[in-house]
Amino acid sequence: MREVLTMNIREIGTALKKGEFSALELTEFFLNRIEKYDGEIKSYLLVTRDLAKEMAKEADRRIRSGESGELLGIPIAVKDIICTKGIETTCASKILKGFIPPYDATVIKRLKREGYVLLGKVNMDEFAMGSSTENSAFQVTRNPWDKDRAPGGSSGGSAASVATGLCVASLGTDTGGSIRQPASFCGVFGLKPTYGAVSRFGLIAFASSLDQIGPLARCVTDLAILLKIIGGYDPSDSTSLPFSASDYTTFLGQDIKGLRIGIPKEYFTEGIDHEVKHGVEKVIGTLMKCGAEPVEISLPHTKYALATYYIICTAEASSNLARYDGVKYGLRMGGKDILDMYKKTRVNGFGKEVKRRILLGTYVLSSGYYEAYYRKASQVRTLIRRDFEEAFKLCEVIVTPTSPTTAFKLGEKIDDPLKMYLSDIFTIPANLAGLPAMSVPCGFDSQNLPIGIQLIGRPLDEGTIFKVAYVLEKETDLKKIPDEFSV
């Protein structure tokens, strides 16, 4: 059944309907791969083996009865920050160990409606705070292209599970690049939708004005199918945009002749690895051969994006994480009084990076510093958004590297927070501006490590991104799974 590793969701769905294999057989195929390979990759925190088989049997029943569903029998992995009813959801943190959500996130309800099969919950940086998946309280996930290297973060488990062929696709979240950077490091496709295009109801919050759920997969078609299913207005989410998700697969195969692609000069400066730069420039050349027209643009406030992001996201994190006090759910430590219990619970429950961000956020919101830091950062965020508005008067899509480097070694940056934060320097601006952005595999460096190119679009214009990404996928036709995991 290994041919399913090269099939998209619709092709698998057609094979299921024709009876070439059953949903149960497909699910067992992936469960066996997880058992065989995930011991060294460690992408899954929890494998829902029995539940997956039950869901697969139900999908087979629906298929036999002629029912429809775009994900009927399709095995998918979910990042462990998205609530799943009756299934432990930990955010890879000790403080939520044992937490069983009493409800499903909206995206999970929508996947269930279409008949998906949940293979399990995948690893991440604790509370989505990190760029390497080394901040998980439970295990370190490895990059399948080089197991001594990081898969990126915070959705490292989502990207690694897709790249290793341990699921058809996965859901991740992106606050400052947490879908796109691991997608780049692991050589898969990853989409951060427009802020508000996908419901955040049931997503455990890190930074509420930045967080966004999105899909990761081995082809553009699967991203398009998944976005149609999980996207659209949700009255349960006050930040949800009032629109209906369209069939994004209609954009696939469209001509890009005459399409203007913006090349921001600020993204091709010092600090970018020369092989990454060369790989991205090569892809820009490919787009030009296909009829796209390059336009040099400027995003002058890009240099302030990193500082702005780490003020806003830490401020929001300090507020959101105040609810974890050992009273309602999760870890509870003993203490001589309630304040002592709070202190011991949070000291023992949170990891080093989470504590760092809570402290930073509390500081920038504190009396005497709020105006100097948080308010100023909010104003700069507006300037960054206006930069993009001006740029999109000259082009339809913006092309940049996803990350300044390919995957770095595990342990290389974990003790240097600033060096780690710089990994997201090219992805952060799209989050601050609320724009859709996708990482597309565009080749390999001399060490056979994947390189990713980032496509940024106008608000709710995911369709143009899909159009360009599909052209790149067909023109480059890169290997999606490392050889040792392709059998």
Please give the positions annotated as active site.
79, 154, 178
List Cα–Cα distances, 277 to 262, 304, 432, 438, 443, in angstroms.
16, 22, 24, 17, 11
With 0-12 CB in 10 A as exposed, 13-18 as middle and 19+ as buried, what is 66?
Answer: exposed
Q: 440 - beta bridge partners?
A: 453
Beta strands in 238-375 (DSSP E): 260-264, 293-297
Q: What is the largest CA-CA distance in the chain?
A: 71
DSSP 8-class letter at 323: G
Q: How far apart are CA 327 and CA 456, in angstroms?
A: 42
- Given the structure tokens 């992408």, which residue do they identify? 43
Assigned token pair, 52: 């997956």
DSSP for 26-40, please give it.
HHHHHHHHHHHHHHH
- Residue 374 CA, chain-centre distance (Å), reads 26
DSSP for 84-128, please give it.
BTTB---TT-GGGTT---SS--HHHHHHHHTT-EEEEEE--SGGG
Q: At what angle do helices 220-230 and 106-113 cross, to 10 degrees?
A: 110
On whether the CB atoms of residues 87 and 100 are closer than 8 A, the answer is: yes
Q: 169 - beta bridge partners?
A: 76, 217
- Given the structure tokens 């759910």, which residue do they identify? 329
- Residue 389 CA, chain-centre distance (Å), reads 24
The residue count for the chain: 487
With 0-12 CB in 10 A as exposed, 13-18 as middle and 19+ as buried, what is 461?
Answer: middle
On whether the CB atoms of residues 436 and 457 are closer than 8 A, the answer is: yes
Assigned token pair, 107: 């995206």
